[in-house]
Amino acid sequence: MNWITNYVRPRINSIFSRREVPENLWSKCDDCGTMLFHREISDNLNVCTNCGHHMHITPRDRFLALFDGGVFNELAVPEPLADPLHFRDQKRYPDRMKAAQKASHEKEAMLVAAGEIGRTPIVAAAQDFSFMGGSMGMYVGNAIIAAAQEAVKLGRPLVLFSAAGGARMQEGILSLMQMPRTTVAVQMLKEAGLPYIVVLTHPTTGGVTASYAMLGDVQIAEPNALICFAGPRVIEQTIREKLPEGFQRAEYLLEHGMLDRVTDRRKMREELIVITRMLMGMSPATWGDLPPPGPEDLKPEPNAALDDTAK
């Protein structure tokens, strides 16, 4: 807690850690342990080519694969107050934010965009689990409200991809207030008669499951996604009983009536096109209007679309 530890040491560390990290060409599937070439994984939407395990995918990569030709307009999200509680654990909250922004090349834990899927105009929002556990703070609340308002303004369905460890503790009660705020945003869509489709991805937990992630007209999940309010470990410790196999996983929840569909990520785009067109009373999609994005379109371009989308 002095000048040397707080100021000098981080400076020295940052000078010595400035080397560029070499691009890792191989990664290991978390489930079956197969070594996979990075190009092979990204071409397959981060689904293991050996066992079908769904690995993490960033919102930007997801949108590049989702929208026709990989083209979408990123929506501006109103900036909330930064660090309202001056929260500090081992690190200051602003420092944690900076580290997350640097690692993800994204501003916050949610990306909102408008575009077309199979020539069907939609608004989409996707949460980024790699950004501070996809935690729901004021920015995420603002992002969902901005997405819902844009959907109502344009008369389009809203498709939301959830992934979260819950509320952002660094924002305390203000993060919990996003639960009613986002619920009101979903209600706006319902009053406008517009579909709200939720795609639950691994993991969706805590306050997010207790609000906007469970309010969809259609609830879809990716295979084997953990979807819960309190996690299995907490429940096991509380009730002191072994939980059944696959408890709180997508397939288990589908069997028990909590979900409508469990869909492979590689088929998600087609399924969303069918569902959104059906719910909007449109004719079935004409296949082959636009080719699906090729692998060369899947390169992430961090923040490239930030500027040209403010409407």
Q: Which residues are annotated as a binding site?
A: 29, 32, 48, 51
Only one residue has tokens 């209600």, namely 187
CA distance 15 to 29: 33
36 binds Zn ion (CB under 5 A): no
Residue 35 is a binding residue for Zn ion (CB under 5 A): no
The residue among 11 and 28 lying less far from Zn ion, judged by its C-beta, is 28
**31/251 with CB nearer Zn ion:** 31
Do the strands 26-28 and 35-37 form a parallel or antiparallel pair, or are they unpaired? antiparallel
Q: What is the DSSP string of 90-156?
A: SSBHHHHHHHHHHHHSSSSSEEEEEEEETTEEEEEEEE-TTTGGG-B-HHHHHHHHHHHHHHHHHT-
Q: Which is nearer to Zn ion, 70 or 203 (CB)?
A: 203
Q: Which of 43, 53, 87, 169 binds Zn ion (CB under 5 A)?
A: 53
- The yes or no reply on residue 50 touching Zn ion (CB under 5 A) is yes
Start-to-end C-alpha separation, the chain: 46
Give the shortest CB-251-to-Zn ion separation in angstroms: 17
Neighbours of 10 (CB within 10 A): 11
Whichever of 29 and 110 has its CB closer to Zn ion, that residue is 29
C-beta of 55 vs 76, nearer to Zn ion? 55
User: How far is 125 from 31, CA to CA, in rounded Å?
Assistant: 27
Residue 261 binding Zn ion, by CB under 5 A: no
* Residue 55 to residue 112: CA distance in whole angstroms: 21
Q: Which of 8, 12, 25, 32 binds Zn ion (CB under 5 A)?
A: 32
Q: How far is the CB of 268 from Zn ion (least distance, A)?
A: 19
Angle at alpha carbon of residue 117, lines to 115 and 121, rounded to 5°: 50
Query: Per-residue string for binding with Zn ion, 12-31, x by CB under 5 A?
Result: -----------------x-x
Residues in touch with Zn ion (CB under 5 A):
29, 31-32, 48, 50-51, 53
